[in-house]
Chain A
């Protein structure tokens, strides 16, 4: 029995002499943040010992703290990928300021706002690729080399009522360019709207091929106003309605009508003399109710 104990003890001693220990003793616990591979040692430093040999002291301190960190890291759950052992790190505990501010949600476009108000939902998104009937293959829906490109047609059927000098090929291209320009304008207006508090000035009057009555009317009003004197001296056309809006202010003469003035003054006096006397109690209670409630303020703070 004694032999057995002795042999075990000897084995232990041999083992200990062979391997150095991984245990480190500290007065206060070392804070370990595995997510950042960070160890913070709050223990006070023995200055006397430090001054006796600076480099050795720091090296030993570093080794001990690293050992403590590694002891924790080796306890993490591991995963084996291609013969390497990967430890899963938990989330970092140390709060570190961000690099940039939090992302703001993208401001709504005018259409999105409208669609939301009306409850219009977007249809399921179209695929990026579309089937091109002519080439018998899938091609990008939009952009270069797109499927079913109507500007690439070699033959276009003319409408019977089309003008003689109309070039249908040219027309398709210009229409497309105009659509793109309109979209770009709307995009810029949306950006401006998001930056200047929801209001951007209108685009004014845009030229159209065949203006309707309403558009013509607006054009006329604008044209009349567009003079140095804001249309004050612009002559009216025959049969034209008065389009100038607004009234001219009128002032009473400074001297003259004594009776009118007397009446005016008397009316003021009358209202003043008939004023209701102040109810002090009521006024006081009203004033008190106007004061902010302490409790209310307390609750709103949190």
Chain B
């Protein structure tokens, strides 16, 4: 695709880079920014660090001080999103009014789409669990439980945000024995419990193994504070599916033979055999035209002559 830009990229690499950032039918995996706020406590810093470790191949850590208040001014976050080509973000800050504060959100077309403020009630680091961790960059299984995630409208949106944030890279095939990481999000009585596990597959006597979970951390207890969800109009725009991605109707009249030739079945009207042109022979010549036709022919010639 030719870039619609006034200033052309100077190098092939630059061109590829820009093309990668253009809107596509099949989108890239969303990457997440982990942004440290102006003031952070040790807890918040550690949470950001460990969340970054969970997301690592598609994560960007911004560990300098960023004096931003996402719910008051979104422009900085939008700028970061455009600059880094990342649509998910986790912002951490700490203040007297809002201690140990996280803002989880995402953007659409470099505009803030939705964000949720989460207060950290308790946090247990992955280094507090003394056991084997899972390998980096594995696609996590996401488990979401709790009635609230089904019944409450705001929680339903939050659930979608959690899925988007944690689901990892899109794949068509997956190695079954490589399913290591499980992220569990449970909503009970207005609190959200986020737990991370490593799977241990055991023999069950059947084909499917018995799953045991080993908690590896980080584990967080969160409370939802301020929220900002996308307007219906924006949600509709963001959920638009490309016509190419929709499943096309199967064509019934096309088939393939075993040799790979394509066959098509078409319906035609019966052929008129009288008008069929076969091999030209003198004996098959048509009889002389009738008198009427001759006269018409002559008159035509005459008229031509007159002119």
Binding site for B on A (CB under 8 A): 15, 18-22, 36-45, 47, 50, 54, 58-59, 61-63, 65-67, 69-71, 73-75, 78-79, 84-89, 92, 94-104, 106-107, 188, 191, 194
Contact = CB atoms under 8 A, between A and B. Distances in A.
B204 A19 contact: yes
B210 A37 contact: no
Interface of B: 1-2, 4-6, 22-25, 27-28, 30, 87, 106, 108-110, 113, 139-147, 149-150, 159-160, 163-164, 167-168, 170-177, 179, 182, 184, 186, 188-189, 193, 195, 197, 199, 202-213, 215, 230, 235, 237-240, 242
A73 B145 contact: no
A103 B25 contact: yes
A137 B170 CA distance: 45
A272 to B, nearest CB: 52
A85 B175 contact: yes
Given A67-B210, A70-B208, A101-B237, A37 B203 contact: no
Given A38-B167, A62-B182, 4 more contacts: A42-B149, A86-B176, A92-B170, A102-B240
A87 to B, nearest CB: 5
A89 B179 CA distance: 13
A39 B172 contact: no
A98 B240 contact: yes
Contacts of A74: 176, 207-209
A47 B23 CA distance: 46
B175 A66 contact: no
Nearest to B205: A19
B4 A63 contact: no
B145 A61 contact: yes
Contacts of A58: 184, 186, 193, 195
A43 B167 contact: no
A37 B140 contact: yes
A40 B160 CA distance: 11
B179 A70 contact: yes
Nearest to B243: A102
Contacts of A66: 141, 143, 182, 184, 197, 199, 211, 213
A13 B110 CA distance: 60
Given A42-B150, A44-B147, A100-B23, A37 B139 contact: yes
Contacts of B205: 15, 18-19
Contacts of B242: 102-103
Contact of A99 (B25, B108, B197): B108
Nearest to B146: A45
